[in-house]
Structure 1
Amino acid sequence: MMRLLWVDMEMTGLEPATERIIEVAAIITDMSLEPIADYHSVVFQSQEFLDRMDDWNQKTHRASGLVDLVPSGKSQNQVDNELSDWVSAHFPNERAVLAGNSIHQDRKFIDLYMPKLSALLHYRMVDVSAFKIMFKEKFSVQFEKGTNHRALDDIHASIAELKHYLSFVQVQPHGPNGT
């Protein structure tokens, strides 16, 4: 049975070469988008990276309380080890397909900073933002979601958003020859 690995990260900014991960969450769902398991961790980063955050990130991550948790977070290597062990246990015979909003951005950080997790991932991804664009522009269907920019909450919102878009899709059953 295929499942999806939903991932969301909070970072100090959007540029992987100069910014860092400060929070990681993951939820595994079945293809009905029902949660099976979840993982969450705050990632330690030095004060230098927190001080360099732009105004938007400073304001957002202070308001959510995340900045206060970073000094006592786990090391990036520890989170990579924990998360890769967790993913391996849930996807023992297959590479995990990532899912999320603008998941390619998270994937850049995973590839650079979490090599063990990266090695377990399929090259295909389910990007909810693609549904967002298509449904908004083609059908004027939107999904309003509030977010406090905490990783686990953002994943739950992304799952609800994809469920919303898929509720508009009706597939006719096909016969054995595809007609």
Structure 2
Amino acid sequence: MKRMFWLDLEMTGLDVERCVILEVAAIVTDLELRTLEEYTQVVHQPPEALAAMDAWCVKTHGESGLTREVRSGGRPLPEVEDALLALVDRHFGPQERVVLCGNSIHQDRRFVERHLPRLAERLHYRMVDVSSFKEVFRSRWGIRWEKSNNHRALQDTRESIRELAAYLAYVRVPETKGGTAAAE
């Protein structure tokens, strides 16, 4: 892995079979977590998809302005998937499997597999889930990262990158000859 593909989705709920994607953000970083390129897009959805949201989504997406943006525009999901694949093509080799990164990324992955199948084909089975670091650092050392809970895809993706950087700042790998650390 030479680059990381960060993703966050905002959806109408968590049920992958009945809920839909409202917003997508993706960021490609290098391994030092420096941003190489960003993409964000509101996804067009019909009024009935918004009407089917649960109370939490109605409140959260209403307060963030996302519901208003979806109602006033957005791009069709196939166009959004095309843009995501173009981003992947610019930063990853044609045969390279892309490691998906994010916070609780397994949930986003479920929506990718269901609603963005061409993108799903490019993904490696491995993922970098920042929430795993969160649990270890919180449980083991009491280190907490306070999230802003913005619930907008681009801001949440940027925050996930900053959060991983904060955890990695605690990690020290001993220098070895030949460039690899040996397990003790």
Cross-structure match for 1:68: 68
| Mapped contact 2:173–2:181 kept (Cα < 8 A) | no
Cross-structure match for 2:5: 5
Deviation at 1:119, TM superposition (A): 1.1
The equivalences for 1:14-29 within 5 A come to: 14-29=14-29
Q: Is 2:52 the partner of 1:52? A: yes
| Aligned partner of residue 177 in structure 2, secondary structure | coil
Cross-structure match for 2:166: 164
CA distance in structure 2 between the partners assigned to 1:127 and 1:92 by the alignment:
23
**Code of the aligned partner of 2:123:** L
Deviation at 1:178, TM superposition (A): 5.5
**Code of the aligned partner of 2:11:** M
Cross-structure match for 1:107: 109
The verdict on how the C-alpha distance between 1:163 and 1:178 changes in structure 2, with shifts beyond 3 A counting, is: closer
Deviation at 1:58, TM superposition (A): 0.4
| Aligned partner of residue 87 in structure 2, secondary structure | helix
| Aligned partner of residue 57 in structure 1, secondary structure | helix
Deviation at 1:147, TM superposition (A): 2.8
1:112-145: CA deviations, max 9, x gaps? 1111111111111000000000000011111112
CA distance in structure 1 between the partners assigned to 2:181 and 2:159 by the alignment:
35
| Mapped contact 1:88–1:120 kept (Cα < 8 A) | no
Gapped regions of structure 2 (runs ≥ 5):
none
CA distance in structure 1 between the partners assigned to 2:158 and 2:84 by the alignment:
18
| Aligned partner of residue 87 in structure 1, secondary structure | helix
Q: Of 142, 145, 156, which residue of structure 2 is paired with 1:143? A: 145
Cross-structure match for 2:86: 85
Give % identity.
46
| Aligned partner of residue 119 in structure 1, secondary structure | helix
| Mapped contact 1:110–1:118 kept (Cα < 8 A) | yes
Query: What is the Cα-based RMSD across aligned positions, in Å?
Result: 1.4
Deviation at 1:84, TM superposition (A): 1.0
| Mapped contact 2:174–2:181 kept (Cα < 8 A) | no
**Code of the aligned partner of 1:85:** A
CA distance in structure 2 between the partners assigned to 1:148 and 1:102 by the alignment:
15
